[in-house]
Amino acid sequence: MSEIEIKCVQCASQTKEATDITLVTAVEGREVVITGLTGTRCPTCGEEYADAESAEKVEEVIKKFRKPAVVFKRKITKSGGRRVLGIPEEIDRALGKKENVDIWLEDDKIVAEVY
Ligand SMILES: [Zn+2]
């Protein structure tokens, strides 16, 4: 690993390489904690600077937590004593001929993986 020369913008000290940077951010009102990021840290004031690789990682994690721009609202109906959830037309079209689905629950989300 090469020496990174980054001066702290807060106090102008020479920062030192760090591999245990933790970032706390909020996505859609939920607190997201990302640990084990790489970058540099100021030994004087503790200011942390994530490197480009870490910034990319953070971006990816945030994307996962963010709701897509288009969300279809549906009501769960009853059919033959079972609760049924219709697939919105737009999503059905995107699925094409796939007809197998693995369904599981993640907190209050029903996740359906179609293949
Ligand atoms: Zn500093």
Q: Enter the DSSP assignment of 47.
A: -
The tokens for 87 are 């697939």
Alpha carbons 71 and 10: distance in angstroms, whole number: 42
Residue 108: band (very low, low, confident or very high) from pLDDT cuts 50, 70, 90: confident
pTM greater than 0.85 (yes/no): no
Strands 101-106 and 109-114: antiparallel
Distance separating alpha carbons of residues 58 and 80, to the nearest angstrom: 46
Ligand 1 centroid – CA 22 distance (Å): 17
- Tens digits of residue pLDDT in 50-91: 999 999 999 988 888 887 777 888 899 999 999 998 888 888
Q: How far is the CA of 92 from the centre of ligand 1 (A)?
A: 53
Q: State in Å: Cα 41 to ligand 1 middle.
A: 8
Q: How far is the CA of 95 from the centre of ligand 1 (A)?
A: 52
d(CA 115, CA 108): 23
> 1 falls in which pLDDT band (50, 70, 90)?
very low
CA of 59 to the centre of ligand 1 (A): 25
pLDDT digits (tens, 9 = 90+) for 18-47: 999 999 988 878 888 999 999 999 999 999
